[in-house]
Amino acid sequence: MTAGYRSVLLERAGAVEAGGVDAGVAAHYGAPTREARKLAEGKAIADLSHFDVVEIRGEDRQSWLDTLSSQRISTLKPGQSTQTLLLSVQGRIEHEMKVLATEDRLLLIAEPGAGAGLVQFLNSMRFMLRVEVNDLSATHGVLAATRTIDTAGSLIWQNPWPGISEGGWAYSREDHPGKERAWFMHIIELDKLCEAVAEEELAGMMAVEALRIAAWEPRFGAEIDDKTIPHELDWLRTAVHMDKGCYKGQETVARVHNIGHPPRRMVFLDLDGSMHTLPATGAEVKLGERTVGRITSATLHYEAGPIALAVIKRNVDPEAVLTIVDGETNYPASQEVIVATDAGQVAGRFTGFLRTPPQG
């Protein structure tokens, strides 16, 4: 996203600009809860034109990105999409990318403002390989919906969440609420935004976030800090291939998964609806007098009311009622487990058979 970016769709009647990382597009167009319902029903489109877009060209593009990232990229066919991470040696998340393969390039969707750093890193890793990395953020952006948009072109990234991609592993339950939401991100030239949505109803970022939080899906610009590893957010299911070749951070990913536990876990919170406000991002999550985590995202959902995602210590009792402390305001909150408290330590677990008792 270029500095000072302002979407032309902010000229729509009722548009109120979002703040923070989502500045430049609409928070809502006058009715955020109605917009969320319409978005969920496939009757509205969201303007995510502030998201960054990067392309990778060259013959080695897929095998090269495969060696750098946590997901298998080398086998993607044109039109297929996936999600991948760039990790530190310690397994901490440094970048998240939504990857779409075409006949002659890979297109990457990154969080607003993350594209420049991503391009810089990728260029530093080119060496002698036949790859070319270009930042398209000044000319391209994203439209999103729970359906495909006929007028937005054919460059469509389909969200794998919350499915379990090949080589992935789920840390949460089978009846995942995210299965109720399809999500398509259309890469489009910015000068075609108005034309693409001319006859469409729009939904703002408040609606987008309401659907995302209700689907328990982490966001790089929200649930991540400088210590986050993929296991804590249940991202092993869509963004990590446990059986592919070596990449930076792989040893930590495998060690935590096979013989350890993630130190923290993402959790879904139902907030007390009588407060008529929402806690701010970063508000403390407390169990009694002890701080056990922080709010990462909060929203007012059109059906569920006030809800939030938080990252808390793994061993917090899942049955405990927590308290969100935001200044002088306290919000009671009940948990729904996303990442299981016993996630990890997969090696040594015996399933489907009984161990043979010792003889003698």
Q: At 62, which CATH number?
A: 3.30.1360.120
Mark whether 324 and 198 lie in a shared domain.
no
Residues 200 and 278 in one domain: no
Peptide bond into 162 cis (omega under 30): yes
247 in a domain, yes or no? no
- Are residues 274 and 206 part of one domain? no
Q: Would residue 238 count as lying in a domain?
A: no
Cβ neighbours of residue 161 closer than 8 Å, sequence gap 6 or more? 83, 178, 183, 215, 217, 237, 238
Q: Both 193 and 57 in a single domain?
A: yes
Instruction: Please tell me the predicted confidence (pLDDT) of residue 275.
Output: 81
Q: What's the pLDDT at 357?
A: 47
Map 177-189 to HEC letters. HHHHCCCEEEEEE
Task: Choose one of 152, 180, 214: the last residue of a domain.
Answer: 214
Q: Are residues 174 and 90 in the same domain?
A: yes
Please give the residue range of the domain that contains residue 189.
8-214
Q: What is the pTM of this model?
A: 0.94
In this structure, the answer to whether residues 171 and 280 fall within a common structural domain is no
Which pair of structure tokens corresponds to residue 294? Answer: 């922080």
Whether residues 97 and 164 share a domain: the answer is yes
> What is the model's pLDDT at position 347?
82
Helix ranges (H only) for the chain are 32-40, 61-68, 115-124, 193-196, 205-214, 250-259
Per-residue model confidence as pLDDT tens for the chain (360 residues): 566 899 999 999 999 999 999 999 999 999 999 999 999 999 999 999 999 999 999 999 999 999 999 999 999 999 999 999 999 999 999 999 999 999 999 999 999 999 999 999 999 999 878 999 999 999 999 999 999 999 999 999 999 999 999 999 999 988 999 999 999 999 999 999 999 999 999 999 999 999 999 999 999 989 999 999 999 999 999 999 999 888 999 999 999 999 999 999 999 999 998 888 999 999 999 999 999 999 999 999 999 999 999 999 999 999 999 999 999 999 999 999 999 999 999 986 544 434 444 444
Residue 138 lies in a domain: yes
Tell me: do 279 and 205 sit in the same domain. no
Shared-domain flag, residues 188 and 49: yes
DSSP H helices in 150-224: 193-196, 205-214
- Cα dihedral across residues 25, 83, 34, 305: positive or negative: negative
Alpha-carbon distance 180 to 248, whole Å? 34
d(CA 289, CA 138): 48
Q: Residue 356: what pLDDT?
A: 40
Of all residues in the chain, the percent with pLDDT exceeding 90 is: 91
Q: How many domains does the chain have?
A: 2
Do 209 and 268 belong together in one domain? no
Q: Quick one: how far is CA 352 from the chain centroid?
A: 33
Name the one residue in this structure whose structure tokens are 């400088």.
Answer: 226
Considering the domain architecture, whether residues 61 and 158 belong to the same structural domain is answered as yes
Domain contains 42: yes
| 199 and 283 in a common domain | no
